[in-house]
Structure 1
Amino acid sequence: MKITVEHADVAENQVILRCPALDEEMLGVLSLLRSGLQRLCVWDDRRQTTLLSPGEVVYCETVDDRVFVYTGQAMYQTALSLGELENRYGPLGFFRAGKSAVVNLHHIRSLASREAGRIQATLETGEKLMVSRRYAPLLRERLGL
């Protein structure tokens, strides 16, 4: 795929995809572009609603059937399930780390192998998150390890 960036005097940014056919590669690019424009609706403990960019999310977890979203500065709740978060924002780096966690790969500082095939991910916030042995091979594949 050839990528060209043109600087132009236009009112708003524009993306044009030129292709002989809308193949899997181009559908992936299109999906990535569309998902990047989305916002994640969350609320805090005072029930104040906030719209987050998916890139702000460090990780998400379920506790007592509620989904919590963690950024570098705050904790929120969302009505989306972990599966919905993974499907919706997977192209932006969201990865299922276990039955009760989704991590944003862009916020991982380091990885360390642990017993039973698990991986410990240290996040930019300093928190440590275990990637279960079920998802560890998928993480290695996704990161090209």
Structure 2
Amino acid sequence: MKINIEQSNTYSEVEITIKCNNIDEGLENLISSIRLYSSTISGKKGAKIYFLKPEDVFYFDTVDEKVFIYTSDCVYETNLKLYEIEERFIGSSIIRVSKSIVLNLIKIDYVSPLLNGRIEAVLQNGEKVIISRQYVPIFKNKLGL
């Protein structure tokens, strides 16, 4: 892989061009990371609104019809619905893994199979998330399992 970087004051924004023979799994992962890097998501904590980088988000969870954003050390509330989050991050490492959870795959430390065809994902911060049976095939496909 060859990386060319041109830096100049004449550029008003970052532009990334990928030239390749074919798109393999490694390149898909790189594109996913670039997509995550280029967007933000807002979350409320108390009276303040924070703009979070998706790569800092561990997962999104719905509790009592409210959606929360979980990072390594904080929990934020967002006005977005889970399906809106899912749509916003299509083609990235952020995917739905249950009816109430959208997970950032890059934050998984390891996974273990459970009874009834479910999978337990242990995240880098030690939290555990259950991938429901309905979403296991998508989850495995995304991880290349």
Aligned partner letter, 1:40: I
Of 4, 8, 11, the residue aligned with 1:10 is 8
- TM-score, structure 2 normalization: 0.81
SS in 2 for 1:125: coil
Match of 2:89 in 1: 89
Displaced runs of 4 or more, over 3 A = 16-19, 29-36
Aligned partner letter, 2:74: A
Aligned partner letter, 1:7: I
Structure 2 unaligned blocks of 5 or more: 21-29
Structure 1 residue 8: deviation in Å?
Answer: 2.9
Mapped pair 1:118 → 2:118: yes
SS in 2 for 1:61: strand
Q: After superposition, what is the alpha-carbon deviation per residue over 1:64-99, rounded to whole angstroms, capped at 9, x for unaligned?
A: 000000000100000111111111123231111100
1: distance between equivalents of 2:68 and 2:87? 17
Aligned partner letter, 2:39: Q
Q: How many residues align?
A: 133
- Alpha carbons of structure 1 residues 112 and 76: separation in structure 2 relative to 1, 3 Å: same
Aligned partner letter, 2:16: V
Structure 1 residue 17: deviation in Å?
Answer: 5.5
- Aligned-residue sequence identity (percent) comes to 32
- TM-score, structure 1 normalization: 0.81
Structure 1 residue 58: deviation in Å?
Answer: 0.2
Mapped pair 1:57 → 2:57: yes
Structure 1 unaligned blocks of 5 or more: 20-28
